[in-house]
Amino acid sequence: MATTDAEQIKKAVNDRYGAIAKEHLVQKPFSIPLMDLSACCGPSMGTISSAIEIAVAKGYSAGELQIFPDTVTEVSLGCGNPTALAQIVAGDTVLDLGSGGGLDCFLAGERVGPTGHVIGLDMNENMLDLANSNAKKMGVTNVEFRRGEMEAMPVVDSSVDLIISNCVINLSPDKDVVFKEAFRVLRPGGRLCVSDIVVEGEIPEETRVSLAEWASCAAGALEKGEFIQKLEAAGFTNIQIASQEITKKGIELKESGWDKGVLLSAVITAVKPAV
């Protein structure tokens, strides 16, 4: 189905990720094919045989994942590992946009320690139920999960040291508002470190208007330069592309004969200026 309607886009995204979370909430065998999970939201990974391998291909270490239950690692749906480059320190308050099953929140929680705090924000009830179940299962006390949208974050002004996100900003139909909200909730000198899908060049129009492609991260991806421009317009400085790699979807587009652009998995960092 083709659309550019914001509410239809949000519903398609909500339905897709809610279904993934429900697989675990009802304790069914995990039935979503692993390569479908990698989809375009991640680098090209060749032959993958486990959820752990998918996560490792995205920049996590097998060692740091061993402590987590399957309900955390099998719902790692991002395109990278923002916690690896975010320079999280003890005592930080961290906000994760689109926290899903909670993997990045739990990793951040280990690093901020008992004096720090992590907030996971997600609009999907099933994902929040799964994340809270995971937190309880692991006895985590410095991580909380809140229901809300990136375009209207239920977070106090200037209260966050670091914002992370993993392949979620591309899902928003109004990224200008997302970046303004991110700027609002960060303290002066606060940092942003996100993994996201970006475009170098163009992608086909039929991809841009497809609800299915919105839900799988391709349609809403910003051109790389536009992503930077929107961050600048929101007030961010020191914007850098820390890493980038062609995605599985990007390779598929090239193989189909589309030579005007490519989809990349990138880690992007930025700073809210100090007063």
State pLDDT tens for residues 137-167.
Answer: 999 999 999 999 999 999 999 999 999 999 9
Nearest to 162 by CA among 122, 123, 124, 112: 112
What are 186-196's pLDDT values in tens digits? 999 999 999 99
Give bridge partners of residue 166 from the DSSP assignment: 195
Q: Is 42 in contact with 79 (CB distance < 8 Å)?
A: yes
What are 252-274's pLDDT values in tens digits? 888 888 888 889 999 999 999 99
Distances (CA, A) of 58 to 48, 178, 233, 266: 12, 24, 29, 11
Distances (CA, A) of 44 to 172, 174, 211, 216, 217: 23, 27, 22, 15, 14
Kindly state the tokens that stand for 36: 């479908």
Weakest-pLDDT range from 53-67, 89-103, 105-119: 53-67
**What pLDDT, on the 0 to 100 scale, is given for residue 27?**
59
Nearest to 240 by CA among 209, 208, 275, 270: 270
**What pLDDT, on the 0 to 100 scale, is given for residue 69?**
83
Average pLDDT of every residue of the chain: 87
Computed over its alpha carbons, how large is the radius of gyration of the chain?
Answer: 17
β pairing state of 261-271 and 237-246: antiparallel
Please state, in angstroms and rounded to a whole number, the distance separating the CA atoms of residues 275 and 124: 35
Backbone φ, ψ for residue 247 (5° rounding): -90, 170
Which CATH architecture is the domain 6-271 placed in? 3-Layer(aba) Sandwich (3.40)
**What pLDDT, on the 0 to 100 scale, is given for residue 3?**
54
What's the mean pLDDT in 84-90? 94
What pLDDT band is residue 34 in, cutting at 50, 70 and 90? very low
Please state, in angstroms and rounded to a whole number, the distance separating the CA atoms of residues 133 and 214: 28
Q: Using the predicted structure, report yes or no on whether residue 71 has a pLDDT greater than 90.
A: no
**What pLDDT, on the 0 to 100 scale, is given for residue 250?**
84
Q: Using the predicted structure, report yes or no on whether residue 60 has a pLDDT greater than 90.
A: no
Distances (CA, A) of 12 to 18, 129, 232: 10, 19, 29
Q: Where are the domains of the chain?
A: 6-271
pTM here is 0.91
Q: Is 204 in contact with 250 (CB distance < 8 Å)?
A: no
Neighbours of 45 (CB within 10 A): 16
Q: Using the predicted structure, report yes or no on whether residue 76 has a pLDDT greater than 90.
A: no
